[in-house]
Amino acid sequence: MAKNLALIFLSISLAVCGQISLKIGMNKVGEISTTHLTEPIQTLLAVFTNPNVVFGLSFYVTASVIWLIVLSRVDLSFAYPMMGTSYILVLFVSKFFLKENVIPLRWFGAIVICIGVVLISRS
């Protein structure tokens, strides 16, 4: 069971790294608005030639492969709720690495998620 939990949290960690990398990349690309739809090729090139976006997508692909391994080993009703920890990790990284403003209500929500994950992991 410990090996399966390690794989679950490896997949989650890679997905979070992917999310952060995508955010950094898109910050560099800039806001995409409806005016960008008039030049979709240029917009797609700007997005998909950004190294952070490419790394982020690579993290996601790797996380997905590991997730498939997890799904072959454990019940979905056990594994999937563990994905809630990704919300918590993203909050911490957003606050302390990306310097985003995380309001108290979001922290409270993270605590509720933690409680839920602990309850599910003990079942």
Which pLDDT value is given to residue 15?
A: 96
The pTM of the full predicted model, rounded to 2 decimals, is 0.86
Report how many domains make up the chain.
Answer: 1
Tell me if 46 sits within 8 A of 81, measured CB to CB.
Answer: no
> CA neighbours within 13 Å on the CB side: how many for 109?
13
Residues in CB range of 26: below 8 A, 6 or more apart: 32, 47, 50, 53
Q: Which domain holds residue 105?
A: 2-121
Residue type, 96: F
Each residue's pLDDT tens digit, 20-68: 999 999 999 988 888 777 888 888 899 999 999 999 999 999 999 999 9
**Residues 79-103, mean pLDDT to the nearest whole number:** 91
